[in-house]
Amino acid sequence: MLRETLSMVRDLPRLHEITSVLIRYGWGDVVRLMGLARVLERAGRLLRWQTSSEISRLDLPVRIRLALTELGPTFVKLGQVLATRVDVFPPAWIEEFERLHSQVPPVPFEGLRARLEEVWGKPVEAVFAAFETEAFAAASIAQVHRATLHDGTRVVVKVRRPNIEAKIEADLRLLVHLARLLEMEIQESRRYHPVQIVGQLRRSLMRELDLVMEARNLELFGQRFANDASVHIPKVYWDYCGEGVNVQEELVGVAGNDLVRARAEGYDLPLLAARGADAVLKMILIDGHFHADPHPGNVIYQPGNVVGLMDFGMVGRVTDLRRDQLIDFLEALTRKDEMGMMNVLSIWSGDAEIDESRLAYDLSEFVFSYDNLALKDIQVGQLLAEVTAVMRENNLALPPDLTLLFKALITLEGLGYQLDPDFHMIDHLTPFLRRLLEARYAPGALARRARHGLKEMADVFFGLPRDVARLFRQARRGRLRIDLDLKRLDHFGIQLNQAANRLTMGVLTASLVVGSSIIMTIATGPKLLGLPLFGLIGFIVAFFNSVWIILSIWRSGKD
């Protein structure tokens, strides 16, 4: 607790900046409810509560996007993470979050030279035959420079911006505090899981800060596609990688969002769409490790209709268990089995309370909308959006790994439609699902699952006496413990502590008044203005104590 308090004091200037931006964009009520204004005013930092009329006329999602943009790179990244939470936010919010970009002016190269030369142990000019000191791409965390090795290989050097780690850590500390306050003070915010979202943001930022981890991802995906001539993953040059720096092959070709040039140079756009979809679906459903952001900016089209993929800073994982759950859900959907779908959704939602009758009705409506619809007419992105809408309306949230997966599939389908208006993701998804189902129900797989199930049942059966004996032993020793998670109990404790402090001060003040009155009757001793000095001091202290108690009670009434 002391450490958290000290960190809050250290971060007060940034907290003041954040709350000022929130107020300016019309979030003053949230600042009041969370008690941030009281904290800052006690620290001597006054807040201006005006919201301009122009800002107040903007829609709520637009205002939050503008606020996140103004707050800087950590909050821009927060918006990008929120854009993956299609299960929590409605489409209008997701659309605004997707407009957030972390493009910022690059740092002058001289500000990066020291770090690069520390990693390489020699001047930049000695490492490369040519090095472009002007960055051709810059984001909030890193920027990229083109270079040429001495053997003529064209590479890109990705280097982390200086001093970015300290700023991100400070913002993350504050965001953790703010998320906890939101869940504690604003009941409506709990359905958005702010603490969970900040945790997802932290993991995403830590991955992006670790450029060596991105290099490992590149190498891993490169190995998995080594025998696929239709997909190109950049090669990593490990001799030049180090803390905050990675060097990888430069992909030369047509940018994924430059379709005019791609058509002019004779690329087969439908073939590119098919190859890109097959590559990402293989990552998801076969490898269980996928590129989580396959948007056009991360794609390069190369001669021979080769799809080049880059920027593996954000990747997702699909465990075997999660893949089985996805198959169960799709199987239940094809059978129009609402209970089967509800079982999977309840697993995904964890400990959330579920109104089963309402959820069953919403799922039946969802299934009805796909009744008699030809397979080729199913849009995977729309299907996933409707599933997440059902979860959102029932206050259920997807696990973070599935939000990344759903977002990747929706982005991938959008890219396919840009390349080919007749693109159907389901045509590419079906063969993978058929392959997984065949493997799932193969005799060998069934036998392995049967053995695993029998082993688990035997472990439970034979371990039951031991567990019961341990339970009674703990009860006999008085060590049986029951954990209760009561909402707002910590807040109640704070209020109780404040009330006890006021009561203690009141008793001390009353004692001072009584003691000082007695001293006033004694003729001997030092005097001030003709009155006994110690009695006069006692009354003065009692007066200020009384003022403090009155102000404390008045402030608690306002809060």
What do you get for the CA distance between the two ends of the chain, in Å?
Answer: 23
CA atoms within 13 A on the CB side of 79: 25
- For residues 207 and 78, the answer to whether their CB atoms sit within 8 Å is no
* Torsion sign, CA atoms 296, 298, 299, 300: positive
What are the pLDDT digits (tens) for 45-68?
555 555 666 777 788 888 888 888
- 511 band by pLDDT with thresholds 50, 70 and 90: confident
What are the pLDDT digits (tens) for 122-137?
999 999 999 999 988 8
In angstroms, the Cα distances linking 528 to 107, 438, 524, 545 are: 67, 98, 12, 21
| Distance of alpha carbon 528 from alpha carbon 536, whole angstroms | 8
More confident site: 219 or 82: 219
Report if pTM > 0.75.
no
Of 279, 269, 346, nearest to 310 (Cα)?
A: 279
pLDDT for residue 373:
65
More confident site: 220 or 410: 220
What are the pLDDT digits (tens) for 517-540?
777 676 666 776 666 777 777 777
Report the mean per-residue pLDDT for the chain: 79
Highest mean pLDDT among 96-105, 147-156, 206-215: 147-156
- 1 band by pLDDT with thresholds 50, 70 and 90: very low
- The residue with tokens 């790994």 is 401
pLDDT for residue 68:
84
- For residues 25 and 67, the answer to whether their CB atoms sit within 8 Å is yes
What are the pLDDT digits (tens) for 478-489?
776 766 555 555
Read off φ and ψ for residue 149, nearest 5 degrees.
Answer: -75, 170
User: Is 293 a residue of the active site?
Assistant: yes
Highest mean pLDDT among 88-97, 138-147, 265-274, 376-385: 265-274
**Which residues in 493-526 are b (16+ Cβ under 10 Å) and which e?**
eeeeeeeeeeeeeeeebeebbeebeebeeeeeee
Residues of the chain above pLDDT 70, percent: 81
Is the pLDDT score of 5 beyond 50? no
* Domain regions of the chain by residue span: 2-101+166-207, 254-441, 451-480, 490-558
**Which residues in 31-57 are b (16+ Cβ under 10 Å) and which e?**
bbbbebbebbeeeeeebeeeeeeeeee
Task: Centre a 10 Å sphere on the Cβ of residue 122 and count the other Cβ atoms it contains.
Answer: 10
Q: Work out the average pLDDT over 160-168.
A: 83
Tokens of 124: 């930049």
More confident site: 513 or 238: 238
Q: Work out the average pLDDT over 501-507.
A: 71
In angstroms, the Cα distances linking 213 to 204, 241, 310 are: 12, 11, 14
SS (H, E, C) 159-185: EECCCHHHHHHHHHHHHHHHHHHHHHH
pLDDT for residue 345:
85
pLDDT for residue 218:
92
Catalytic one of 293, 311, 328, 459: 293
| Distance of alpha carbon 486 from alpha carbon 35, whole angstroms | 21
Is the pLDDT score of 3 beyond 50? no
| Distance of alpha carbon 347 from alpha carbon 345, whole angstroms | 5
- 6 band by pLDDT with thresholds 50, 70 and 90: very low
| Distance of alpha carbon 437 from alpha carbon 447, whole angstroms | 15
Is the pLDDT score of 4 beyond 70? no
- 2 band by pLDDT with thresholds 50, 70 and 90: very low
Burial of residue 237 (CB within 10 Å: 0-12, 13-18, 19+) is middle
More confident site: 338 or 513: 338
What are the pLDDT digits (tens) for 408-442?
888 888 888 889 888 888 888 888 888 887 887 78
pLDDT for residue 312:
86
| Distance of alpha carbon 299 from alpha carbon 82, whole angstroms | 23
| Distance of alpha carbon 463 from alpha carbon 79, whole angstroms | 47
**Which residues in 106-117 are b (16+ Cβ under 10 Å) and which e?**
bbebeebeebbe
- 393 band by pLDDT with thresholds 50, 70 and 90: confident
Is the pLDDT score of 91 beyond 60? yes
More confident site: 195 or 215: 215
pLDDT for residue 556:
62
Residues 6+ apart with CB under 8 A from 121: none
- 106 band by pLDDT with thresholds 50, 70 and 90: confident
Is the pLDDT score of 181 beyond 80? no
pLDDT for residue 33:
60
| Distance of alpha carbon 141 from alpha carbon 214, whole angstroms | 13
Q: Say which amino acid occupies 476.
A: R
pLDDT for residue 62:
86
What are the pLDDT digits (tens) for 19-44?
777 777 776 666 666 565 555 555 55
- For residues 263 and 134, the answer to whether their CB atoms sit within 8 Å is no
